[in-house]
Amino acid sequence: MKKHLIACSLLALFAATGAHAADKLRMGIVVKIGGIPWFNAMEAGIKSEAAKRGINAWMVGPTAADPALQVRAIEDLIAQKVDIIGVVPNDPKVLEPVLKRAREAGIQVITHESPDQKGANWDFELVDAPTHGINHMKALAKCMHEEGKYAMYVGSLTVPLHQQWTDAALNYQKEHYPKMQMVTDKFGVGESLDDSIRTTNELMSKYPDLKGIMAFGSQGPIGAGRAVMNRNKIDQVCVIGAFSPGQGASLVQRGAIKGGYIWNPETAGEVFVRIADMMQKKEPITDGMTIEGLGKVKVDEATHTILGNNTESLDKENLPKLVKMGL
């Protein structure tokens, strides 16, 4: 009798454990590219928040910033029948069909850095796009003394958020700093260190009086800063942009990068998991509510976008704090 009771108890325990495992939220998050400091920090945020909440969440980092690799990664997650897919898109348009397939398979989708993403349940941003662009233009104008030639880099010409930042910055420049001039069209080199260095060298040769570079994309400011330093032009060319603090700290200390603003990618990783948890629990996401890591949010139901207000300054004074955080 005792043996029978023990056997029944073990079976019940195994069944309960299996049910719990089956109910555990499973989430794969596909980023732009793996192995660089920015997304390493995001992965740390994903892991720590998932552990706190008892969620099975992991990051998928393609070997190159290639939309086709992101499509393949998402297709693999669909095949794994995850509950939620997170994405930081390289090319939102290219991802639309595969995100549609994910939704048709009953998988919910969260994106980041891609407002109004077709096929997403929600996109979240840690800062309002126009404000982010304008803040960088103000910093660039101050460094350039509000006059002279400058260039703009984005991670890719197909990333809408980078276009929104630079468009807002350019419009603000035209209205407030008429003596400044963007020398040519934007360059989609900001996710490649080599391309950013090469482009900066070419620009400095073509425009000897170039006074500034505003760079978005994780490698854009780093490449521009290295090129400016190697050409001994740190006093002539202002580099402003968003970059991983640990990667850019030495360039800031030497004056090759003058500053910029970022949101904390570790926080973004945490927010991915928090929003997924809210969606799984069917908790409403409403305008004016507070979400940890985002603060008080603006929610645009029409575009399924959640806007926060949480950035860090990349100046000499604030950088050591960010580097200590592992960024």
What does the alpha-carbon distance between residue 139 and residue 128 come to, in Å, rounded to a whole number?
A: 17
3-state SS assignment for residue 212: strand
- The percent of residues above 90 in pLDDT, for the chain, comes to 82
**Mean per-residue pLDDT, 64-86:** 97
pLDDT for the residue 21: 46
Asked whether the predicted pLDDT for residue 15 surpasses 70, the reply is no
Beta carbons of 37 and 219 less than 8 angstroms apart: no
pLDDT for the residue 86: 98
pLDDT for the residue 10: 39
Asked whether the predicted pLDDT for residue 236 surpasses 90, the reply is yes
> Rounded to the nearest 5 degrees, what angle is found at the Cα of 219, between the Cα atoms of 273 and 189?
110
Tens-digit pLDDT profile for residues 21-51: 457 899 999 999 998 888 998 999 999 999 9
Tens-digit pLDDT profile for residues 251-292: 999 999 999 999 889 999 999 999 999 999 999 999 999 999
Tokens matching residue 12: 């019940």
Residue with tokens 């990349």: 314
Q: Which amino acid is at 91?
A: D
DSSP strand E in the chain: where?
Answer: 26-30, 56-60, 84-87, 108-112, 122-125, 148-153, 180-182, 210-215, 238-241, 261-262, 290-291, 295-296, 298-300, 305-307, 312-313
| Dihedral angle sign, alpha carbons of residues 272, 263, 125, 213 | negative
Asked whether the predicted pLDDT for residue 14 surpasses 50, the reply is no
What is the pTM assigned to this prediction?
A: 0.71
Asked whether the predicted pLDDT for residue 8 surpasses 70, the reply is no
Closest-CA residue to 265 (of 293, 228, 224, 299): 293
Residue of 6 and 79 predicted with greater confidence: 79
**Mean per-residue pLDDT, 218-243:** 97
Tens-digit pLDDT profile for residues 100-157: 999 999 999 999 999 889 999 999 999 888 989 999 999 999 999 999 999 999 999 9
**Mean per-residue pLDDT, 70-74:** 98
The contacts of residue 123 (CB under 8 Å, 6+ apart) are 110, 111, 112, 114, 115, 116, 117, 303, 304, 305, 306
What does the alpha-carbon distance between residue 78 and residue 87 come to, in Å, rounded to a whole number?
A: 13
Asked whether the predicted pLDDT for residue 11 surpasses 70, the reply is no
Strand 84-87 and strand 108-112: pairing? parallel
